[in-house]
Chain A
Amino acid sequence: MGTYLVRRLLIALPSLLGISVVLFTVLALAPGDPFEEMATNPNIPPEVRLALRAKFGIDDPVYIRYIRWLTAMLQGDWGFSFASRVNVDTLILQRLPATIFVIGSSQILALAIALPVGIYAATRPYSIFDQIANTFAFIGFSLPTFFTGLLFILVFSIWLDWLPFVFRTDIDATGWRWYWEQIRQAIMPVMVLGLFQAASYTRYVRSAVLDVIRLDFVTTARAKGLGEKTVVVRHVVRNALIPVVTLVALQMPTVFGGAIVTEQIFRIPGIGSLLISAILANDTPVIMAVTFVFACLVVTFNLIADVLYGWLDPRIAFR
């Protein structure tokens, strides 16, 4: 186990380094300029733009900028945003709570729907319930979130006027009202993301359970005279969940990385919308930091999933 972990870590480090080189080069070669808005404004002399470029070191060669970035990053300095001069780590920390709250809730909702529906559908394959669940699952993951998001806004905010569609971090209330407002504004984005996730999880859970339910040990359990409920919960679900757990673990980076489209639609000040606005403003340090954090999360959770696999099912040997 120990050598396995060390080996995995040794692979993870160079891959992170490689990712950072690729990201940095792509960003450096990408066209655009953080100060482009100054260009069409006749009141701002072009010298200011050139001075700012020089001040922030944008004119230096790519490899020098990369080395500067890497050394700073290794010392824990994430750089600062060109647009606001705020440190990037402060910006990310400001955005993290909203992201975790909304995306986290949607993951929980997705699992809360997918597990019972998937299991129930698998225990009664091709029954009416199964067919309806399947239909909804197919509809669910074929509709993109930007479409369902707009549809929800149209129905719940504009026609029915029940829910706000602008997410706010500064709710002007205290106590229960604060919680209530917080929930009210989160309903739509959480539903949009949750239902989308739930649809694909449902299919996954269903097929995982179907795989297990016909195995010999389940038949044996039934033959022992155990109740159907016990058979399903104790013997089937426990085994079927191994791949599902891995799937969810691999989804974790999204929880931190934000849902870019949905955050934009509902104006959730999360990581995803930070990334979008940084890209639009060509704010390279922010783009670099956010994408790199995302890469780190993917690598880390892959590592965790690998370890988890081995722990859950020792047949996957640590070779």
Chain B
Amino acid sequence: MNETEIHGMVAEVKEGKLSRRGFMQRLAAFGVAAPTAWHILDFHGVAQAQSLTAYKPTKAGGGGPLKILLWQAPTLLNPHFAIGTKDQEGSRVFYEPLAGWDNEGNLVPFLAAEIPSRENGSVSADGLSVTWKLKPNVKWHDGKPFTADDCLFTAAYAADAATAATTIGTYKDIKVEKIDDLTIKITFPKPTPFWADAFVGAAGMILPKHVFEPFKGAASRDAPANLKPVGTSAYKFIDFKPGDILRGERNPDYHIPNQPFFDTVEVKGGGDAVSAARAVIQTGEFDYAWNMQVEDEILLRMERGGRGKAIPVSSGNIEFIMLNTTDPWTEVDGERSSVKTKHPTLTDPAVRKAINLLIDRDSVQKFIYGRGGKATANFVNAPPRYVSPNMKYEFSIDKANKILDDAGWVRGADGIRAKDGKKLKFVYQTSINAPRQKNQAIVKQAAQRAGIDIELKSVTASVFFSSDVANPDTYSKFYCDIQMYTTTMLQPDPERFMLQLVSWEIANKENKWQGRNISRYSSKEADEAFQEAQNSLDPARRTALFIKMNDIFCGENILVPVLARTRMAASSNNLVVQPSGWDLDLWMLNAWFRP
């Protein structure tokens, strides 16, 4: 499906020849996901469909307690300081953004009166500004009214470098103005096609100005409210013990009628994923648990005759292998894997292609991850609109052998191929994690049959993912031939995700290996595509550009995708939750209920 076809279909929707639903379905047939389809229609000014939640109860309260188990427990409750999703989830029990993302990628209003769109004029045609109308009569838990000032404050608070907010990236470049008490206008420094970032989703939770004002900037970490939140959500704060338990009670003044259903909510932490799954699925002691990093086989066994079920939710996370094209074994100007060097063997495209053919993704999915992942040939796997149709994966030892034969790599007496005295011997590193080690073993075995010798290395996760400049084993230093990890995509827009593929983000000694491009591979074409996509207001064009970047890196076998990961949650059979792969697990806690 190309740009012209999509534009033709958008025109049909506009003329009423094609229904919104029909449009989504047709795009779905081409593998374009609903969020994307929504975005395309929205861009062309076609009204947004009302997102429906299947909330049945006719009055608030009466549901008793809701018990949630987050085995990685929240340690603080300020969403703008969240280290990892555990803190965001904990904060989301009390705070709300203007809007959140549902599972289909539609924006659902929370503190916004309506979702801005091109049609109602609140998203400017030049892509430079967006105007949000706020919901009237919303009260903070302490009774003070929620107004535009709170939004302005939150943006200024997060953008202040001294605050050291983890959401600074979202707010530092935008300008937020107050039009009136219930209207704000966000101005972007350049045309911004993805305007739904600030005040939306996990990074968008709004803080009360009257509580946090004295704690902006350097004093930010001293605010008592970092541990005792005052929000606008369906549940009011009762008690919090970091790393252990978090409790809230029903907010009788909640701004959505008839919600929430449960009288109290409790988020308990500690333990591990397997026993959390057990407490929900097998014994029913808890109602919901998240982040089930458990082998699917174990989950399936628990589900048999249990009281709960596992819920897979698609996400943009990708488990992938990276092939180093720089030389990790030679030091140049105090750094290994320097862009000034070339890898002795991995720079040969034939070798990289052969390695790609030696990865048995289907087996990895079937025997290791189960419902937890889906084999893929693409780096970008969601939302479906951004997924390249051009990449295919295959597992074939014969083909790999043939490619290497043709390229002149000859097997030596030890069975290892070599050319010009250079042997195909690689070190393959990843973090310590049972599925990853199994994956390594599968790859090593297949490689052996193609005359490639792979030495396996596993680094403890706390080292591998650390930013310790002194440690040579971090993933961002990549002092190795091959490595594997998961990178996360938290927004239904790949712009930020794609920073991993541009040349100015290359991790090196100069930026203390803080750059996002760990592969160190760069392509002028990819750089240009990224810059154009950043400014392209036409979603179809933007999609094409991101797909192009994906195809450059995957086609060159620099990034060798393995699995698109799904988020797994566990829920008791008699609980209706509102899962979404594009927002937090607890993004719509207000609408959970028991039928």
Q: Which residues of A contact B (CB under 8 A)?
A: 31-53, 55, 81, 83-86, 91, 94-95, 153, 157-158, 161, 164-166, 168-170, 172, 264-265, 267, 269, 273-274, 277, 280-282
Is B25 positioned at the interface, with any CB of A under 8 Å from its CB?
A: no
Q: Which of B167, B169, B283, B491 contacts A165 (CB 8 A)?
A: B283
Q: Which of B83, B161, B485 contacts A83 (CB 8 A)?
A: B83
Give complex CA distance A57, B243 in Å. 23
**B517 CB to nearest chain A CB (Å):** 11
List residues of chain B with CB within 8 A of the CB of A51. 161, 164
**Is the CB–CB distance between A40 and B247 below 8 Å?**
no
Given known A-B contacts A31-B468, A42-B500, A84-B243, A166 and B285 have beta carbons under 8 A apart: yes
Give complex CA distance A269, B75 in Å. 13
**Is the CB–CB distance between A46 and B487 below 8 Å?**
no
Residue pairs across A and B with Cβ atoms less than 8 A apart, 6 shown, are A35-B83, A40-B486, A44-B166, A55-B164, A91-B243, A165-B278
**Is the CB–CB distance between A165 and B279 below 8 Å?**
yes
**Is the CB–CB distance between A281 and B75 below 8 Å?**
yes
Given known A-B contacts A37-B83, A42-B499, A277-B73, A85 and B221 have beta carbons under 8 A apart: yes
**A41 CB to nearest chain B CB (Å):** 6
**B499 CB to nearest chain A CB (Å):** 6
**Is the CB–CB distance between B69 and A31 below 8 Å?**
no
**Is the CB–CB distance between A38 and B243 below 8 Å?**
no
List residues of chain A with CB within 8 A of the CB of B169. 43-45, 48
Give complex CA distance A265, B274 in Å. 11
List residues of chain A with CB within 8 A of the CB of B6. none
**A262 CB to nearest chain B CB (Å):** 12
List residues of chain A with CB within 8 A of the CB of B241. 94, 169, 269
Give complex CA distance A44, B82 in Å. 10
**A274 CB to nearest chain B CB (Å):** 7
Q: Which residues of B contact A (CB under 8 A)?
A: 65, 69, 73, 75-76, 83-84, 161, 164-170, 203, 221-222, 226-227, 239, 241-245, 247, 264, 266, 268-272, 275, 278-279, 282-283, 285-286, 460, 462-463, 465-468, 471, 473, 475-476, 485-491, 496-497, 499-500, 511-512, 514-516
**Is the CB–CB distance between A43 and B490 below 8 Å?**
yes
List residues of chain B with CB within 8 A of the CB of A282. 462, 466
**Is the CB–CB distance between B466 and A33 below 8 Å?**
yes
List residues of chain B with CB within 8 A of the CB of A35. 83, 467
Q: Which of A31, A43, A161, A265 contacts B170 (CB 8 A)?
A: A43
Q: Which of B243, B283, B491, B500 contacts A274 (CB 8 A)?
A: B243
**Is the CB–CB distance between B73 and A170 below 8 Å?**
no
Give complex CA distance A242, B166 in Å. 58
Give complex CA distance A273, B487 in Å. 29
**Is the CB–CB distance between A85 and B226 below 8 Å?**
yes
Interface of A is mostly: loop
Closest residue on chain B to residue A45 by CB atoms:
B169
**Is the CB–CB distance between A158 and B244 below 8 Å?**
no
User: Which 7 residue pairs of A and B lie closest in terms of their CB atoms, listed nearest first?
Assistant: A46-B514, A269-B244, A37-B84, A32-B462, A33-B466, A84-B75, A84-B242
**Is the CB–CB distance between B465 and A166 below 8 Å?**
no
**Is the CB–CB distance between A32 and B466 below 8 Å?**
yes
**Is the CB–CB distance between A40 and B463 below 8 Å?**
no
Q: Which of B168, B491, B496, B500 contacts A48 (CB 8 A)?
A: B168
Give complex CA distance A50, B475 in Å. 17
Give complex CA distance A168, B245 in Å. 8
**Is the CB–CB distance between A42 and B496 below 8 Å?**
yes
Closest residue on chain A to residue B243 by CB atoms:
A277
Give complex CA distance A91, B514 in Å. 32
Identify 17 new A-B residue pairs, CB closer than 8 A, beyond the known A33-B468, A169-B245, A267-B275.
A37-B83, A38-B84, A39-B467, A40-B475, A40-B488, A46-B516, A50-B467, A51-B164, A55-B164, A83-B242, A85-B226, A165-B283, A166-B279, A269-B270, A273-B243, A280-B462, A282-B462
**Is the CB–CB distance between B467 and A33 below 8 Å?**
yes
Closest residue on chain B to residue A277 by CB atoms:
B243
List residues of chain A with CB within 8 A of the CB of B465. 36-37, 39-40
**Is the CB–CB distance between B466 and A36 below 8 Å?**
yes
List residues of chain B with CB within 8 A of the CB of A48. 164-166, 168-169
List residues of chain A with CB within 8 A of the CB of B166. 38, 44, 48
List residues of chain A with CB within 8 A of the CB of B471. 31
List residues of chain B with CB within 8 A of the CB of A81. 75, 242
**Is the CB–CB distance between A43 and B496 below 8 Å?**
yes
Q: Which of A158, A166, A277 contacts B268 (CB 8 A)?
A: A166
**B218 CB to nearest chain A CB (Å):** 8
**A168 CB to nearest chain B CB (Å):** 7
Give complex CA distance A283, B169 in Å. 25
Give complex CA distance A24, B434 in Å. 31
**Is the CB–CB distance between A269 and B462 below 8 Å?**
no
Q: Which of A39, A153, A273 contacts B466 (CB 8 A)?
A: A39
Q: Which of A46, A91, A265 contacts B467 (CB 8 A)?
A: A46
Q: Which residue, of B167, B270, B471, B476, has the highest number of chain A Cβ atoms within 10 A?
A: B270
Closest residue on chain B to residue A268 by CB atoms:
B270
**Is the CB–CB distance between B244 and A94 below 8 Å?**
yes
List residues of chain B with CB within 8 A of the CB of A168. 245, 268
**Is the CB–CB distance between B270 and A277 below 8 Å?**
yes
Give complex CA distance A126, B407 in Å. 78
Closest residue on chain B to residue A86 by CB atoms:
B242
**B477 CB to nearest chain A CB (Å):** 12
List residues of chain A with CB within 8 A of the CB of B239. 170
List residues of chain B with CB within 8 A of the CB of A161. 283
List residues of chain A with CB within 8 A of the CB of B245. 168-170, 269
**Is the CB–CB distance between B487 and A170 below 8 Å?**
no
Closest residue on chain A to residue B83 by CB atoms:
A37
Q: Which of A85, A95, A158, A166 contacts B286 (CB 8 A)?
A: A166
Give complex CA distance A49, B169 in Å. 12
**Is the CB–CB distance between A267 and B243 below 8 Å?**
no
List residues of chain A with CB within 8 A of the CB of B269. 267
Give complex CA distance A316, B227 in Å. 54
Given known A-B contacts A31-B468, A49-B467, A83-B242, A42 and B283 have beta carbons under 8 A apart: no
Given known A-B contacts A50-B514, A166-B268, A169-B245, A36 and B467 have beta carbons under 8 A apart: yes
**Is the CB–CB distance between A42 and B76 below 8 Å?**
no
List residues of chain B with CB within 8 A of the CB of A53. 467
**Is the CB–CB distance between B462 and A170 below 8 Å?**
no
List residues of chain A with CB within 8 A of the CB of B266. 170
**Is the CB–CB distance between B227 and A86 below 8 Å?**
yes
**Is the CB–CB distance between A267 and B271 below 8 Å?**
yes
Give complex CA distance A269, B268 in Å. 10
Give complex CA distance A249, B491 in Å. 57
List residues of chain A with CB within 8 A of the CB of B272. 264
Give complex CA distance A83, B460 in Å. 20
